[in-house]
Amino acid sequence: MTQSIICKENLKVLIDNHPFYKSINENLLKDLSTSFPATRSITNGGDNSESAVKALQTYNDIESKDISLINDWVISIVMNNKRYNHDLFIKDKWIAIYQNGDYTNPHTHIPSVYAFVYFIRCPKNSSPLVFTTSRRKIKAEEGKVVIFPGNLLHHVPKNKCDGRIILSGNLYYKV
């Protein structure tokens, strides 16, 4: 069941857990090891600026059957909880792999309408997702998705383990 929280910025954040996350995550980890190369030198597509993610990450055009399942699930959560009557699509999907000491600087996902973080692997001491202004921490738990407005400032503090892995993406209105 989808849970919603309201941040200090008066923005709604949706949190849910996938019922079949174990098999999906296993497949995503296989895809990561065979099909999705990761690097620390990713730049943002539009302005070619340096990524806020200070960890290994894939490029933002990854595709697989299980990523499509997560995409469809994320869109259904938003569509069931939104106030607008617009169709959405997901663009810019990537995986980030955090080792001990890796982090993500505070940033937003403007111009996306929503962004999401789906937790694939969360060893003990995995860093939370933090909404920077409100200092609201969302615990990293495998199978959990956090969906939030694209303009909500967020970050990941220094990770204290090896192997924290997430899938992230941006949602846009279909025009």
Digit-coded pLDDT (tens) for 67-119: 999 999 999 999 988 766 688 999 899 999 999 999 999 999 999 999 999 99
What are the pLDDT digits (tens) for 17-66? 999 999 999 999 999 999 998 888 776 655 567 889 999 999 888 999 99
Between the alpha carbon of residue 85 and those of residues 80, 81, 82, 134, the distances in Å are 11, 11, 8, 28
Looking at the DSSP bridge assignments, the partners of residue 118 are 145, 167
Q: Are 69 and 24 in contact (CB under 8 A)?
A: yes
Phi, psi of 107 (to 5 degrees): -165, 170
Categorise residue 3: left if φ over 0, alpha if ψ from -120 to 50, beta otherwise. beta
pLDDT at 84: 63
Looking at the DSSP bridge assignments, the partners of residue 114 are 149, 171
Residue showing tokens 């982090």: 103
pLDDT at 47: 57
What residue spans define the domains of the chain?
Answer: 3-18+33-42+49-110+134-173
pTM reported for the whole predicted model: 0.94
Least Cα distance to 152 among 6, 50, 51, 2 occurs for 6
Q: Are 60 and 95 in contact (CB under 8 A)?
A: no
What are the pLDDT digits (tens) for 105-117? 999 999 999 999 9
